[in-house]
Structure 1
Amino acid sequence: MAACAYLGLGVMGAPMARHLAGAGHQLCVYNRTAAKAEAWVAAHGHRAADSPREAAEGAEIVLACVGNDDDLRSVCLGEDGAFAGMAEGALFVDHTTVSAQVTRELAEAAAARGIGYVDAPVSGGQAGAENGQLVVMCGGAEADFARVEPVIAVYAKACRLMGPSGAGQLTKMVNQICIAGLLQGLSEGLHFAEKAGLDGRAVVEVIAGGAAGSWQMANRHGTMLDGQFDHGFAVNWMRKDLAICLAAAEENGASLPVTALVDQFYKDVQKMGGGRWDTSSLFARLRGIDGLGGRD
């Protein structure tokens, strides 16, 4: 069992930290809103810290899941940052979806202090975090990955080293690019079925087992047809992720025309008031265009 710190107790971080505690790891938690950390400790035990530095002191492994590049920098760097409290030989593991650029920047800063760094973004959403069924894609040194893999295993169904620092984040970008295209295609398919007078659920029952099938189709078609989007991964967060993807594509020369287009469709959803709706709300946009309304 490892002495761990966990930074960020949002909808993903809180259950991941809970799994660590349940597995017997010693844990100190930190959250920017201190009340969340106090509530977590009241529910699960262990202890809370007033700063990332305090949380990281004495920890063998420090894990984080925060909001964006700037949030991650703020918990890592500076006098109160985690790096200042970590001993040489300790390991920092970042579960946030951020740019490969900030990942490499922070990995270099960590290395200068003798600290290991693994970028380890996740897929599976809040349900995956709650149920310990996340997929984790990692970047970093093989030795660092080997140290943290059994720790991550308590909340992941799959965890793989994809390459050097930044490779985990690049793999997560591929994940988000694929999801965006799939959801737009599924939305258009269901929209077409409605316009053609077909029963959308019956259509999915027939085609889901064939080449058109996907996780999104199996798990989202029902709520999409019911106009229910107050769940899952929020449009605001998806646009943050797609902005990272598009910026990276500018750097590496990849062509992402569909991703760029779907990003603008998500902007339309935000204008509809759906910034916190699930990413499957692309379907609501199509219904809205036809004057059918976004939700029931």
Structure 2
Amino acid sequence: MKVAFLGLGVMGYPMAGHLQKGGHDVTVYNRTTAKAEKWAREFGGSFAKTPKEAAEGAQIVFACVGNDNDLRDVCTGDNGAFSSMTKGSIFVDHTTTSAEVARELSATALEMGLSFMDAPVSGGQAGAENGILTIMCGGTQEDFAKTEPVQQCYAQAVTLMGDVGAGQLTKMVNQITFVGAVQAISEGLAFAENAGLDAKKVVDVISKGAAGSWQLSNRGHTMVDDKFDFGFAVDWVRKDLGFALDEARKNGSDLPVTGLIDQYYKEVQRMGGGRWDTSSLIKLLRD
């Protein structure tokens, strides 16, 4: 298929590469054109200087940008993708955003004869690079059927969760759940260290039992080593938790632990750790 990919950050760059490797005709756009040029040299696709140019003639336009305003900009801003997309084509957004902006842009797309799907991802930079992301989609069954085989180029699981917005709501559940795990692991490892145990050996043992999790298996040893340069940054998780906490106020959910952990991440930012990965919560218990 002829597709476009807007946004070549740590996630989008390899995702777009998997599309090109999968046999699709890919045109990329990035706010910094030099990065788009580099991608084209590496993967053999094309690059464009605006979202509008990248989206021309594409059957599916993918995006993975920073936040709600970035998404609005690449969709409906000056030289936005919606203005050049062919009627009947589909915009698939992999950014983690609010559910509101997904519904807003879906309504705009429908007025223009286009389709919009929210499709946030989980799996981090490693998942994007290895093509094993988990994708949570919101949209129609028809649009999902058309886009799911293409998304499989960089995913191990692609699931339709409901109407537009349902993907973002599911991603909020993901973020609520995983930050709780990170805090629990941080407390456990700090306890192990204070008790004089071999913390890495503790990780190896308990990861095989009821305490086992992706976070423990993939971040336990690096947390012990005080290394926090492994992808998803504190600045970004605070953005995501903001969406979840806002939505919780609207739907009447109590998130006491999530709210507390959000404040812990705020303390990590104050320590200068905004670009550390999310496992850096343990720093608060050491420092």
What TM-score range do you get, normalising by the shorter chain?
over 0.9
Which residue of 1 is the match for residue 286 of structure 2? 287
- The 1-side partners of 2:50 and 2:273 are apart by 34
Which residue of 2 is the match for residue 152 of structure 1? 151
| 1:84 to 1:206, Cα distance in 2 relative to 1, 3 A | same
Q: Post-superposition shift, 1:46?
A: 2.1
- The 1-side partners of 2:48 and 2:191 are apart by 53
Q: Post-superposition shift, 1:195?
A: 1.3
The secondary structure found in structure 2 opposite 1:153 is helix
* Bigger mean CA deviation after superposition, 78-87 or 66-75: 78-87
Q: How does 1:142-291 map to 2 (within 5 A)?
A: 142-288=141-287
Q: Post-superposition shift, 1:206?
A: 2.4
- The 2-side partners of 1:130 and 1:205 are apart by 25
Query: Deviations along 1:42-70, whole A, 9 cap, x unmatched?
Result: 21122111111111110000000000000
- The 2-side partners of 1:156 and 1:125 are apart by 12
Amino acid in the other structure paired with 1:114? G
Identity %: 62
Quote the RMSD (CA, aligned, Å).
0.8
Which ranges in structure 2 are unaligned for 5 or more consecutive residues?
none
Contact 1:66 1:96 in 2 (8 A): yes
TM-score, scaled relative to structure 1: 0.95
- The 2-side partners of 1:194 and 1:131 are apart by 33
Which residue of 2 is the match for residue 133 of structure 1? 132
Contact 1:78 1:84 in 2 (8 A): no
Which ranges in structure 1 are unaligned for 5 or more consecutive residues?
289-296
TM-score, scaled relative to structure 2: 0.98
Contact 1:96 1:120 in 2 (8 A): yes
Which residue of 2 is the match for residue 16 of structure 1? 15
* Bigger mean CA deviation after superposition, 93-102 or 191-200: 191-200
Query: Deviations along 1:99-128, whole A, 9 cap, x unmatched?
Result: 000000001101111111111000001110
- The 2-side partners of 1:264 and 1:148 are apart by 38
Contact 2:36 2:47 in 1 (8 A): yes
Contact 2:203 2:221 in 1 (8 A): no
Q: Post-superposition shift, 1:79?
A: 4.2
Equivalences, count: 287
- The 2-side partners of 1:232 and 1:210 are apart by 26
Which residue of 2 is the match for residue 119 of structure 1? 118
